Structure 1
Amino acid sequence: MVNVVVLFTNQVPSITKPLACEDIVQIRNLERDQIRLLCGILSGHYLFRKHLFTMGLSDSTLCPRCEADEDTAFHAVCNCPALASRRYTTFGFHVLSAEEAKELKIEDILLLATTLKF
């Protein structure tokens, strides 16, 4: 089982994961697009509005799905209200805390991301 560690950088929770040898083997077996998606989600440097705003590529940091909070990897994976039913189907929870997010497996994050077409 591969767990994900949630760290807090610049007061914004982001999903990151220190890589162990078994993680590298698992990731190496993924397709290139899956690796790109996974790295973007784990680092927070994917097409989330908070990141795009920081790069000057978006006028807003608000989540396009719920418009209630900043669009970050943590928000999308753990607590966006618009994604609650999909999150429940994938993880068994409607909302995840930072502590619960530490228990997420890489394959579950990828499953959520691909079903949502991140």
Structure 2
Amino acid sequence: MLNPGRVKSDCILNLSRNDIRLYTGLITGHCRLNYHLKKLKLVNNDSCRLCKEGQETAEHILCECPAAYGRRTTYLGAGVLNPIDLSTLKPTAVTRFANSLGLGL
């Protein structure tokens, strides 16, 4: 029997190179989100480009951004997610969701 780590690894390795980069960036927080870009001094503002309400972090986008509620429901199965739930999501669903937002991550 395959363990969940092996199944998820296989799923990630079946993604395109760009989607592997996107998925890895989202789970580590090291991607083109304003929060990370501000830490690198590449932008002056770390607010969310979608909702303008919170810091644009991976957790905010994946779990709670109100402007992404509908797409989150469509692609990830719930409008609001608990950060603990992120480990149960399929990498393909996460990358499809992120790509649908049009943020150029």
Task: State the TM bucket, normalised to the shorter chain.
Answer: 0.7 to 0.9
Greater per-residue helix proportion: 2
Report how many aligned residue pairs link the two structures.
Answer: 101
Greater per-residue strand proportion: 1
Alignment of 1:1-118 (within 5 A): 20-117=5-102, 118=105
Note the alpha carbon deviations across 1:2-36, whole angstroms, 9 max, x for none.
97xxxxxxxxxxxxxxxx33333322222111111
More relative contact order in 1 or in 2 (CA 8 Å, sep 6+)? 1
Q: RMSD of aligned C-alpha atoms?
A: 1.9
Q: Which runs of 5+ in 2 are unaligned?
A: none
Larger deviation, residues 21-30 vs 50-59: 21-30
Larger deviation, residues 105-114 vs 41-50: 105-114
